[in-house]
């Protein structure tokens, strides 16, 4: 059997419901999944219940979107208490920041001569975890760009003209928050962030793993992070970063998985630490 520890539902920037994801995982022969919506844990409970009925273990998960001066740094969390009051309070503030960010992105786009409205974005994203992929989908639907790649490269990437920073949550703060809620913090897709220098600071805050197995990574990149993990006593994890059949990525659930033994090590670390 296998596992996928990085999946998004339509409660953040994915396109399928938590229940649909569980059914897809079962059909793909995946034993364990983690629903890791961006700054949102609303899908965990329903996914866990659905998983019980379909023979799929669902691990509580989340992906925090944080920033440092150089890049976006995403922090995954696993096995935390998704009823934790402090976690819920912080997420409420982050989600409000996401809504405010959409209005700012729309204004920047209008400054570039791109006419869209915030309500068009909220119609597909809801009011909790709207993000740049939702903006990209509106741009595509209106024929203003051809695809996700163009939407991000022209307007939405970290250095692009319509980029707006996130709610001010530092990477180490996200790590500490997950740890305080009893979870295992993991540095997500480090090749994308390209800022290994943050790892010592994250470890000091409680980082316990690195997402080493990720779609598109080259063998030398995987070996680099495996060596780094061994050197620092960090766990190796991985996942597909699946966003749905209409999520803008050519990837099916089940095409990128990790062995059960990596999940077991993650689980054992959680038990040991709690």
In tens, the pLDDT along 196-214 reads 999 999 999 999 999 999 9
Q: Judge if pTM exceeds 0.75.
A: yes
pLDDT category at 1 given cuts 50, 70, 90 is low
Percent of the chain topping pLDDT 90? 87
pLDDT per position as a tens digit, 141-168: 999 999 999 999 999 998 899 999 888 7
92-156 CATH choice from 2.60.40, 3.30.300, 1.10.150, 1.25.40: 1.10.150
8 Å CB contact between 209 and 184: yes
| Cα 263 from Cα 132, distance rounded (Å) | 30
Binned at pLDDT 50, 70 and 90, residue 130 comes out as very high
Helical (H) or strand (E) element with 211: strand 209-213
pLDDT bin (cut points 50, 70, 90) of residue 251 is confident
Q: What is the structure's pLDDT at 248?
A: 63
How much is the average pLDDT of 191-199? 94
Question: How far apart (Å, rounded) are the C-alpha atoms in residues 33 and 132?
Answer: 24
The model's confidence at residue 247, banded by pLDDT at 50, 70 and 90, is: low
Model confidence at 89, in pLDDT bands (50, 70, 90)?
A: very high
pLDDT average, residue stretch 127-153: 93
Question: Across-strand partners of 64?
Answer: 75
Answer yes or no: is pLDDT of 267 > 80.
yes
pLDDT at 178: 98
CB of 166 closer than 8 Å to CB of 74: no
Pinpoint the alpha helices (H) of the chain: 18-27, 44-54, 85-111, 118-125, 132-141, 148-151, 171-180, 190-193, 199-205, 219-232, 260-273
Q: Measured at the alpha carbon of residue 169, what is the angle toward residues 168 and 171, in degrees to the nearest 5?
A: 135
242, pLDDT greater than 60? yes
Q: Read off the pLDDT band of 69 (50, 70, 90).
A: confident
pLDDT at 126 over 90: no
pLDDT value at 274 more than 90: no
Give the CATH architecture of domain 2-84+170-273. Alpha-Beta Barrel (3.20)
Whether pLDDT at 135 is above 70? yes
The answer to whether residues 208 and 184 touch, using CB atoms and an 8 Å cutoff, is yes
**Tens of pLDDT along 100-118?**
999 999 999 999 999 999 9
Q: Parse the chain into domains and list their residue ranges.
A: 2-84+170-273, 92-156
Mean pLDDT of 69-96: 94
The predicted-structure confidence for 216-240, as pLDDT tens digits, reads as follows: 999 999 999 999 999 999 999 999 9
pLDDT at 84: 96
């Amino acid at each position: 059997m296998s596992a996928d520890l990085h999946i998004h539902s339509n409660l953040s920037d994915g396109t399928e419901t938590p229940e649909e994801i569980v059914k897809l995982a079962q059909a793909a022969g995946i034993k364990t999944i983690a629903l890791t919506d961006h700054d949102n844990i609303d899908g965990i409970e329903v996914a866990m219940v659905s998983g019980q009925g379909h023979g799929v273990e669902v691990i509580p998960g989340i992906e925090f979107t944080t920033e440092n001066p150089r890049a976006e740094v995403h922090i995954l969390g696993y096995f935390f208490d998704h009823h934790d009051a402090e976690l819920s309070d912080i997420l409420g503030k982050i989600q409000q920041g996401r809504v405010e960010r959409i209005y700012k992105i729309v204004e920047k786009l209008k400054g570039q001569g791109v006419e869209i409205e915030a309500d068009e974005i909220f119609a597909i994203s809801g009011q909790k975890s709207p993000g740049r992929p939702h903006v990209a989908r509106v741009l595509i639907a209106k024929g203003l760009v051809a695809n996700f790649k163009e939407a991000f490269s022209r307007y939405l990437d970290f250095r692009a003209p319509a980029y707006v920073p996130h709610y001010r949550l530092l990477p180490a703060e996200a790590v500490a928050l997950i740890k305080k809620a009893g979870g295992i913090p993991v540095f997500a897709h480090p090749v994308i962030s390209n800022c290994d220098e943050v790892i010592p600071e994250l470890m000091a805050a409680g980082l316990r793993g690195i997402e080493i197995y990720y779609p598109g990574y080259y063998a030398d990149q995987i070996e680099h992070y495996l060596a780094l993990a061994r050197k620092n006593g960090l766990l190796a994890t991985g996942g597909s970063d699946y966003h749905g059949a209409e999520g803008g990525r050519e990837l099916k659930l089940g095409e990128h998985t990790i062995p059960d033994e990596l999940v077991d090590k993650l689980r054992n670390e959680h038990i040991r630490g709690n």
